[in-house]
Homo-oligomer: A and B are copies of this chain.
Amino acid sequence: MNVFVIGIGLIGGSLAKDIKMLYPQSKLFGIDSSEMHLKQAFSLNIIDEMASMDDLYKADWVIVAVPVDVAVSLVPEVLDKIPSHALVLEVGSTKAALCKAISKHKNRRNLLATHPIAGTEFSGPKAAHCGLFKGKTNIICEIDKTAFPIQEKALKLFAALEMHIRYMKPKAHDKHIAYVSHLSHISSFMLGKTVIEKEQNERDIFDLAGSGFESTVRLAKSSPAMWTPIFKQNKTNIIGCLEEYIRNLKQFKKLIENDKYDPIFKELESTNKIKEILNGIQFKQ
């Protein structure tokens, strides 16, 4: 089985590693716009062969794990070039623009649009590792637009990866994920920015930082090349949740300014229920 991975970063590379372990007979081909990443993936044994888009005619599976703006133009090209039996998996963090871009493609039924909720703040082939997807949620969009045999192959892979499947419409996906992923990234980036700016005038601030600070700014290490296109594609939803977040911060600031400490206590107490919510979810890095 010939498996092509386009974009050998954290997600593409980790999928390649898992597939190689689960399907030892498979041959892994890598395609990447960065020659350095491609060579790294080869020397790290993540892929067996460096390939190009013109080799896709021999693909059985194609995994597209590129920034979401690249995916919109690249996936139609992939669909143009694959043989009729091939499975194409797109795994980006937004789904509406991608699904729209391929809605009329003659080979639409070869593609399954997914979003595995897995990742770390690290990127590139060196960050790839086996087991990244185990126990994680995988959101599948527009399953009905994918051919049955293709669905079947993909679901078998996800079951082997031990992922939980959730089915959603692309627009609902993009709206919900803005709250539980995109907003977290912006809050983290801006927190990092605020403290870096302060540090320029007041030395040694970071020397006082503890694990709480580290936890809240961890996502500020994330790749700008991956995240700028996500913010662009999910603009409307992100503006919406940013407005709510800023409104809540301003209201909290006002409570402090007006010495309203009882309402602050109640606010913190009612937000504490995030404990029970998070306890119900299994998080693994």
Contact = CB atoms under 8 A, between A and B. Distances in A.
Contact of A205 (B176, B193, B222): B176
Contact of A184 (B191, B238, B259, B277): B191
Interface in A243-285: 243-246, 248-250, 252-253, 256-257, 259, 261, 264-275, 277-278, 280-281, 283-285
Contacts of A241: 194, 198
A157 B186 CA distance: 41
Interface class of chain A by DSSP: helix
Interface string A144-162: 0000000000000000000
Contacts of A118: 210
A42 interface: no
A214 B279 CA distance: 10
Contacts of A244: 194, 197-198
B207 A272 contact: no
Nearest to A115: B208
Interface residues on A, range: 35 or more
A217 B274 contact: yes
A208 B239 contact: no
Contacts of A243: 253
B202 A268 contact: no
A271 B284 CA distance: 25
Interface stretch (A11-19, A30-38, A227-235): A227-235
Contacts of A214: 278, 281, 283
